[in-house]
Structure 1
Amino acid sequence: MASVFLYLLSLLLFPLFSSAQTYRNITLGTSLSTNDRNPYWASPSGEFSFGFYPIQDVFMLAIWYEKIAVESIIWTANGGNTVESGSKIELTSDGVLSLSTPNGTQIWKVESMDSIGATSAAMLDTGNFVLSSDESAIKWASFDIPTDTIVPTQILNPLGKLSARLTQNDYSQGRFELILQGDGNLVLYQKARPMGDNYDGYWDTATTNGSQLIFNQSGYIYLSLGSSNTSRISLTTTTQVSPTQFYHRATLDFDGVLRHYTYPKNSTGGRWRQSWSVSEYVPSNICTAFGGSVLGSGVCGFNSYCKLDDNQRPQCNCPPGYTYLDSNNTFNGCKQDFLPQTCGTSDGFEMREILTTNWPTSDYGRFTSVTEDWCRQTCLDDCFCAAAVLGGGTCWLKKFPLSNGKTDATADKALIKVGKPQLVLNNRNNSCKKDRDNLILPGRFS
């Protein structure tokens, strides 16, 4: 009974903890430049900062954990795009928060959501940056438009969403989104770039009455059900490390996984490692989460396959005869390292094996009760066949590009069609010749 009482009391006090924050007013006409010695506004406790975060030789207008050296950004402005040295953020005389380039061109702004303008701004100790009126009413808040992260005391309301960044180091909008839909279902989607349309969902709570996704001040994350806030679906375990000892954040990472992270505020005599640790995450296996979705590439790009590493993070691999499109971004897919097959001949091609691997959304043919040799030769003779997968005496033919690749214990093996060494060599020579033909000779703060 006592535990129930404490839980109900925490729910009643939650709005109080969220709003009763001390802050330092940022007055109209105040500005920051990337050239300032300290180009940021800190919260009263110094836990959070809003301003220009240095990334190599450019800057990101962002909010971050001030006392953590790595992976500390929790919110970004300007669509996650960086700005050059000399850029400025200003709370203008008419209450507009305006980001401008060194030549004075405005590239991003926020302002009051109603006719009563903002008269000050503040970086709160919760990590929320706000614009307020003379009556201290909040007119705009970063908590209301999160990017890829939420922190304790933050709430995601219906139609609220998190959008993953593109890569680990590129904060522009990526390929995955978490949204609390109007129908009450909390869903993870793969997105179509560059337009941003949603493909099929790959994880959800299967709810019809979800009202808020709450990250409370005790470090628990749960989906509140209905309007009474007495029923919920928990996204975290019943035991959490205290926010008084650990920083918390929940981030929809660029690989499509929603992870709850903690970071010790003090080393406590070496007991805790000074780094972000994963407490929980959904889905449990991102490689297999996409099921039968026929659109998109899956977590890894086209012509690659996904396998979990020792830390349960997805690792994208190229099949034999393929190389990464971008060696700096292995999630971007793979390309053939040989010339395409000419229909009517299989000369110059062979089949290579990969065990327990499948591309389940690339099927265009299925044959039962056949041998491996039959499956191998059929794909080899078919110019539309990029690969074949064998399992339980069944042969599936796969078309190009291969999509949603993953390790799959139900598949005996995959047979990949590749060019023989001479064909690969010719393709590389042709590429080198094109490069020579196109060659033109030449005439952060700390």
Structure 2
Amino acid sequence: MACPLKNPLFFLLFMFLPFPTTAQTYRNISLGSSFNALQDNNSSLLSPSGEFAFGFREIAKDGFLLAIWFDKIPNQTIVWSANGDNLVPKGSKVELTIDGEFMLNGKRIRNTEFVGIGVAYASMLDTGNFVLANRNSSIVWESFSYPTDTILPSQTLNQNGILYARYTATNYSTGRFLLSLQPDGNLVLATTRFPQITPNYVYWSVKNPNIGFRFIFNESGFMYVTSKNESLLSTISSNTVSMQDFYQRATLEYDGVFRHYVYPKSTSSSAQRWPKDWSTSSSPFVPPNICTSFMESTGGGACGLNSFCTIEDQGPTCQCPNGYSFIDPEDERRGCKQNFAPQSCGETSKEETDVFQFQELNNANCWGGDYALFEGVPED
């Protein structure tokens, strides 16, 4: 079982010719264009303003991610990726074929299988949206419609739209949590039946039964759910943020918390008060305490089996009880394992009872069982 501590501190939140190896600004990317993954991380193209880039990023040894990121900030935060579950090696090629197919190493990029006919060009837009368009400039495919773990201002989630948290801070494969606007109109955060991607346990929700139609993140920083007739149903964030002074993103983090971030991009008086980093100090996040949000009758809670969870200034922290250690120090949410030989309280082992001891864990609450329970998992 997992044990959240009580009363923790809450934290506030393509031209026809191949692309050159240095980033360039193109509005339209022509059919027949391509470029390769290079280790200098310069195999990218910029939006017209230069604020967003599309291309390859090396995130593991000879492991490249085809991604979109903020390009004018030092850490170049990734907001979308095409192959988080399957990194590609150096020299891999992305291309917009002469037939309008969007390909990575000769395979269609996910969810582009039926958009080849009629595609005339591609563009990296200043909104952070990468699009394929036809000769009439109508968008036939866009990264905004297939988000990974992040949404950006002007982006929406329709019914059945899903964000999947990445696995760890540095591993962009699909993780253990999802945010979804369900067909029943409710906006939910849920665990997945990891390593499957289907929902398992809902640990936070905004209920709009049968009428929630769209989740919107507008350019002023508001996040809300509307009905089909566009009437406001629920507000997730009512912060007013200047697009001129701040970058924004809303990300479902690998720890299961959905956070609204801002980053100062100007020297205005309002932006100077903020650190030059992504901040949630006055922005909302949900749930406010993920450690106590898991009330599963079985399962490992926010931190995995045999662990306990605390809230600190920087967010939830996973720890192991005395006598236990992390199964994987690089992935604390896998839970903890015992560092001692199993003991018995049976009739034949009475002599071992003197080696048992109790240790007090202050301000802790443990509930649930020792095992995860997946209901409705298909045989496959």
The two structures share one fold, judged by TM-score above 0.5: yes
Inter-partner Cα distance in structure 1 for 2:119 and 2:323 = 59
Shift of the 36–332 alpha-carbon distance from structure 1 to 2, 3 Å rule, reads closer
Inter-partner Cα distance in structure 1 for 2:115 and 2:262 = 37
Q: Deviations over 1:52-96 (max 9, x none)?
A: 023253321000011122261110102443221111111111111
Specify the alignment match of 2:193 in structure 1: 192
Are 1:77 and 2:82 matched, yes or no?
yes
Specify the alignment match of 1:358 in structure 2: 365
CA deviation after TM superposition for structure 1 residue 35, in Å: 2.8
Specify the alignment match of 2:299 in structure 1: 296
Structure 1 residue corresponding to 2:66, chosen from 31, 47, 61: 61
Q: Does the aligned pair in 2 maintain the 1:23–1:124 contact within 8 Å?
A: no
Inter-partner Cα distance in structure 1 for 2:26 and 2:155 = 17
What value does the CA root-mean-square deviation take over the aligned residues? 2.2
Identify the range of structure 1 (105-114 vs 239-248) with the bigger mean alpha-carbon deviation.
Answer: 105-114
Structure 2 residue corresponding to 1:41, chosen from 19, 41, 45: 45
CA deviation after TM superposition for structure 1 residue 266, in Å: 2.6
Q: Does the aligned pair in 1 maintain the 2:26–2:45 contact within 8 Å?
A: no
Specify the alignment match of 2:168 in structure 1: 167
CA deviation after TM superposition for structure 1 residue 340, in Å: 1.1
Identity %: 45
Inter-partner Cα distance in structure 2 for 1:36 and 1:98 = 20
CA deviation after TM superposition for structure 1 residue 36, in Å: 8.4
CA deviation after TM superposition for structure 1 residue 356, in Å: 2.3
**Matched residue type, 2:80:** W
Are 1:245 and 2:250 matched, yes or no?
no
Secondary structure class of the residue paired with 1:119:
strand
Identify the range of structure 1 (47-56 vs 275-284) with the bigger mean alpha-carbon deviation.
Answer: 47-56
Q: Does the aligned pair in 2 maintain the 1:211–1:227 contact within 8 Å?
A: yes
Secondary structure class of the residue paired with 2:200:
strand
Q: Does the aligned pair in 2 maintain the 1:303–1:402 contact within 8 Å?
A: no
Q: Does the aligned pair in 2 maintain the 1:187–1:205 contact within 8 Å?
A: yes
Aligned residues: 337
Shift of the 85–141 alpha-carbon distance from structure 1 to 2, 3 Å rule, reads same
**Matched residue type, 1:342:** S
CA deviation after TM superposition for structure 1 residue 401, in Å: 5.5
Q: Deviations over 1:373-418 (max 9, x none)?
A: xxxxxxxxxxxxxxxxxxxxxxxxxxx4699xxxxxxxxxxxxxxx
Secondary structure class of the residue paired with 1:175:
strand
Alignment of 1:256-335 (within 5 A): 256-268=256-268, 270-278=272-280, 279-291=283-295, 293-311=296-314, 313-335=315-337
Higher relative contact order (CA 8 A, sep 6+): 2
Shift of the 295–62 alpha-carbon distance from structure 1 to 2, 3 Å rule, reads farther
Specify the alignment match of 1:370 in structure 2: none
Unaligned ranges ≥5, structure 1: 1-21, 363-399, 404-446
Unaligned ranges ≥5, structure 2: 1-24, 374-380
TM-score (norm 2): 0.83
Bigger Rg, structure 1 or 2: 1
Inter-partner Cα distance in structure 1 for 2:172 and 2:261 = 18
Inter-partner Cα distance in structure 2 for 1:244 and 1:80 = 35
Identify the range of structure 1 (133-142 vs 346-355) with the bigger mean alpha-carbon deviation.
Answer: 346-355
Secondary structure class of the residue paired with 2:144:
helix
Inter-partner Cα distance in structure 1 for 2:309 and 2:317 = 6
Q: Does the aligned pair in 2 maintain the 1:161–1:178 contact within 8 Å?
A: yes
Q: Does the aligned pair in 2 maintain the 1:287–1:314 contact within 8 Å?
A: yes
Q: Does the aligned pair in 1 maintain the 2:29–2:122 contact within 8 Å?
A: yes
CA deviation after TM superposition for structure 1 residue 297, in Å: 1.5
